[in-house]
């Protein structure tokens, strides 16, 4: 999945596949997580958030099932 770099102390890049409602986040640690059944509006809000890390922590991390892929 193609990811876009973001300016964040925690998140390195973010990608989204609207066909699968799959959000992929790479962290500066090198870990990559895929979050399942994420509505596109959540991805858009993450990308437009003043703090990508805070938005992820408050609205995504414990709200959606995820798989660590790296």
The string of pLDDT tens digits covering residues 7-28 is: 999 999 999 999 999 999 999 9
- For residues 70 and 64, give the distance between their C-alpha atoms in angstroms, rounded to a whole number: 18
Instruction: Please name every residue paired with 13 in a beta bridge, in sequence order, or none if there are none.
Output: 5, 26
Count other Cβ atoms within 10 Å, centred on residue 44. Answer: 11
> Span 23-51, mean pLDDT?
97
The pTM assigned to this predicted structure is: 0.95
Structure-block tokens of residue 35: 């979050």
Q: Which domain holds residue 47?
A: 4-68
Q: How many domains does the chain have?
A: 1
- For residues 34 and 9, give the distance between their C-alpha atoms in angstroms, rounded to a whole number: 19
Residue with tokens 């509505």: 39
């Amino acid at each position: 999945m193609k990811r876009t770099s973001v300016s964040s102390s925690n998140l390195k890049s973010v990608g989204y596949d609207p066909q699968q409602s799959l959000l992929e986040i790479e962290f500066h640690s090198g870990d990559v997580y895929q979050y399942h059944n994420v509505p596109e509006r959540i991805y858009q809000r993450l990308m437009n958030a003043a703090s990508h890390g805070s938005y992820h922590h408050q609205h995504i991390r414990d709200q959606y099932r995820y798989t660590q892929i790296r």
